[in-house]
Amino acid sequence: MAGAKFERQETGLVDAITSAVKKADGPVNLKFVNGASLPSIVKCYKFMGRTVSGSEPLTDIVFEDINGNRHNISCKGTQSASVAGGGVSGITELQPELLPTFTQRSPKKIQTIGL
């Protein structure tokens, strides 16, 4: 993630979750301000690496639950200039069919709503 400020925030979150798991001596349940939750988290770490295209990673932090499932989280803020961690490359890596479907369907939808 660009900028030391954001790196500190990510590291702070990882440290807080790691500390909570240690203090609880076991899994913790996470609740987010948007109402989402992740139960039974036992591990949290900073994702290292890049996307296949070499652009910014799609994931900033990984939460791992008691079953070994990994939940990848992007810490992009609302002011981020990046979309899907690398623009078109990132979107295509996440959902290869998204952009072709969008470009095929949007003209019809625009006509349907009268624009």
Question: pLDDT at position 1, please?
Answer: 42
First to last CA, the chain: 38
Run means of pLDDT, 10 residues per run, the chain, 115 residues: 60 93 96 90 86 66 94 72 60 78 86 85
67 by DSSP, 3-state: which?
Answer: coil
Q: What is the DSSP string of 83-113?
A: STTTHHHHHHHH-TTHHHHHHHHHHHHHHHT
Domain residues of the chain, as ranges?
Answer: 4-112
Structure tokens at 33: 């301000």
User: What is the pTM (predicted TM-score) of this model?
Assistant: 0.61
Question: Where are the strands (E) in 1-115, listed by range?
Answer: 28-31, 37-46, 61-65, 70-73
**Tell me, what's the pLDDT at 80?**
55
